[in-house]
Amino acid sequence: MHHSRLEKCFDELKRLKKKALIPYITAGDPLPDLTVNLMHALVESGADIIELGVPFSDPIADGPIIQRASERALNQGVNLEACLNFVSDFRATNKVTPIVLMGYMNPIEQFGWDHFADKAANVGVDGVLVVDCPPEESKMFFNKLKAQHIDCIHLVAPTTSEERLKKILGEASGYIYYVSLRGVTGSDKLNPVDVSRKINFVKKHTKLPVAVGFGISSRKSVFDMAKTDADGVVIGSALIRAMEEAGSEGGSPIETVKSRLDDLSKGLSKKR
């Protein structure tokens, strides 16, 4: 039986009674030369899993902050090939931290499904989350990933019906990404009670870990999400916004991300 890095990571955290801290950054933002160092910096600041965003010109699920990050990366020539190379460089010294590529189907189709599955497996990608890819439409694609022992991570939203949820869970592996808001990434209207109820509903139907993301941008929102039964918390827009602000003031993106993640992760470590 193949035990994925993601499975090992969640098992170990469960043993320690901890939640996974899952930061998201867009590959190539603010500078391609910084991406691998940023990934290592996230791990130093407590990241258990890294979600690496693949830049795309029409990111429908993303709010303005991640859209701008995508644009900056694309303007510097960062494509899917570059993202896979970042993972390869990261893996030269870190073979433990799971990496999930998050993005849209278009760049993967251009790259070629087989080519992508092969190369992703070779460089050490652990999971793939394709935002605009309903499981039933892309069984062949997901089968190619599964054949390479790459987990297929799917989004579940507040509006997902039970019937739909069962379909998604039938295809999912690694973890479920629960979208805590109706809307785009980077918004900030969270209702912890609602989120908690929905996570319990999802967990009734699956043994997979559930990570919660979208709208988690303050220590309080991290703390609120940590009180739910979620197994992990995804933080993205807040980190990218912090880097943007630091960049406009001439600050170091790496130091900024480390201190922002350190600060936010305190919401996870408070005694519950």
Identify which of 132, 174, 131, 133 has the alpha carbon closest to the alpha carbon of residue 152. Answer: 174
Contact 38, 257 (CB under 8 A): yes
Residue 265: what residue type?
Answer: S
Q: Is the peptide bond before 107 cis (omega within 30 degrees of 0)?
A: no
Identify which of 129, 202, 188 has the alpha carbon closest to the alpha carbon of residue 159. Answer: 202
Place of tokens 């940023």: 38
Question: Phi-psi category of 46—alpha, beta or left, where left has phi over 0 and alpha has psi -120 to 50?
Answer: left
Contact 6, 34 (CB under 8 A): no
Quick check: is 51 catalytic? yes
Residue 94: Cβ-neighbour burial (10 angstroms; 0-12, 13-18, 19+): middle
Catalytic residue among 7, 51, 126, 231: 51
Identify which of 23, 19, 21, 37 has the alpha carbon closest to the alpha carbon of residue 240. Answer: 23
Catalytic residue among 7, 29, 48, 62: 62
**Nearest-5° Cα angle at 139, 133 to 143:** 115
φ, ψ of residue 107 to 5 degrees: the values are -60, -35
CA separation for the pair 253, 242 (Å, rounded): 8
CA separation for the pair 268, 193 (Å, rounded): 17
The sign one gets for the Cα dihedral 9, 142, 225, 29 is: positive
Residues counted in the chain: 272
Quick check: is 194 catalytic? no
Catalytic annotation, residues = 51, 62
